[in-house]
Amino acid sequence: MEIKEIEAKENFDIKNMTTFKVGGIVKKIYFPANQQEFVFLLSKIKNPVILGGCSNIIFSSQGYDGEIISTIKMDTIQVRGTHIIAECGVKGPMASQSAYNSSLSGFEFMIGFPGTIGGNICMNAGAHGQNISDTLVKACVYDMKSKEIVYLEKDKMEFGYRQSLLQNGRYILLGAEFELKKAPQQDIKDLMDRNLEFRKNIQPSLANPNAGSVFKNPENDSAGRLLDKAGVKELCADNVKVWEKHANFIVNTGEATSENILELIYKMYTTVKETYTIELEPEIKFLGKKNKREEEICKQIYKKTQK
C-alpha cells in the first residue's frame, strides 16, 4: 500500500466538519476507509492529529500546518449476541440505534451525542448515569511507540471522569468491543426518548453550532451550576454567546472565529474564578495555530492540562 492510494485532500477548509462551524485551512487531511489504511497512515505520518466527529474542539481559524487523519469513514459496527464491536469512527447515535435494534441496553446515553466511539472512549464520555467505560470489554489500539496493534482490557484503560489512557497520545483507538445487557426494546426506547428530550430542553442542538460542554465539572460540584450562579448567561463576545438554557454551553451565532470563542470562554472562566476562587478546566480542546491573543488566553485557561 502507498499513502497516495488513500483518500486525501490538500488545503482543506475544515470549518464545516466541526460542530462549532469554526476552523481554517488544513495542510492535508486523510480519510482512511478501514483499519488497514488507518494503521498504515499511523505508521507513516509523524505526529498526526486524529479527528472523529469534531464535536469537542475549537479548531483554529488560522488553520493547521500539519497532517490530520479523519476517522469518519471507519463506521463499521457488528452485533454478536450481547456484544457490540465498533470501529472508532462510528457515531454515538448509530451505536445507540444498533443496540436498540438488538434489544441491548447500555448505549442509550449516546443517542444525542455528535461524537464518535473513538472520541467518546478517549474522554470517557457519559450522561444520564451511563458512561462508555461501563460496557467496554476491550479496546483495539495502535501503539505509536512499538508500532503495533495491541488489545487493552478495560482495567488497563485508566478510566476516570472524562479521562482515559488514550489521552497520553501513545495509543490510538482503532475499534472497541462492548458487552451490553438484554432488555425490552420498549424500555430502551423510552430511555432514549427521555435522553433526547432532556438534551432538547437543556442543551443546544447542532442547528445552533456548539461543541458540547465547555468546562468539566469540578470535584463534587457542577460547572453549569457555578457558571449560572456567577451570572455568565449575560456574557457574549463577537458572534458567540452563552446558551440561554444552560450556562456551560457556547453557541456560534454568526461567523465566529476561534478567537471569539476563546474570548468568551475566558470571560466565563474569569467570572467563576473571581466569584468562587475556583478555576474551571475546559473540556473543549483547542487545535491548530494560535494568534497572539489566543496564545495568551490558552496559557490561562489550559494551565492544568499544560503542567
Domain boundaries, given as residue ranges, for the chain: 3-70, 77-200, 223-301
Q: Phi/psi class of residue 3: alpha, beta or left (left: φ > 0; alpha: ψ in -120 to 50)?
A: alpha
Q: Quick: pLDDT tens for 28-81.
A: 999 999 999 999 999 999 889 999 989 899 999 999 999 999 999 999 999 999
Note every long-range contact of 233-240, with CB atoms under 8 Å and residues 24 or more positions apart, other chains counting. 235/264, 235/267, 235/268, 235/271, 236/264, 237/261, 237/263, 237/264, 237/267, 238/263, 240/264
In the chain, the percentage of residues whose pLDDT exceeds 70 is 99
In the chain, the percentage of residues whose pLDDT exceeds 90 is 86
Q: Which residues contact 180 (CB under 8 A, 6 or more apart)?
A: 82, 83, 84, 99, 104, 105, 106, 107, 135
* Average pLDDT, integer, range 144-149: 96
Judged against a pLDDT cut of 50, whether residue 266 lies above it is answered with yes
pLDDT at 275: 97
* Average pLDDT, integer, range 88-111: 97
CATH number of the 223-301 domain: 3.90.78.10
Of the pLDDT bands very low, low, confident and very high (cuts 50, 70, 90), residue 154 is very high
pLDDT at 47: 87
Whole-model pTM over 0.85: yes
CATH number of the 3-70 domain: 3.30.43.10
Active site residues: 162, 213, 283
pLDDT at 161: 87
Of the pLDDT bands very low, low, confident and very high (cuts 50, 70, 90), residue 256 is very high
pLDDT at 305: 60
pLDDT at 307: 43
Provide the CA 192 distance to its chain's centre, in angstroms.
20
CATH number of the 77-200 domain: 3.30.465.10
Of the pLDDT bands very low, low, confident and very high (cuts 50, 70, 90), residue 180 is very high
pLDDT at 110: 94
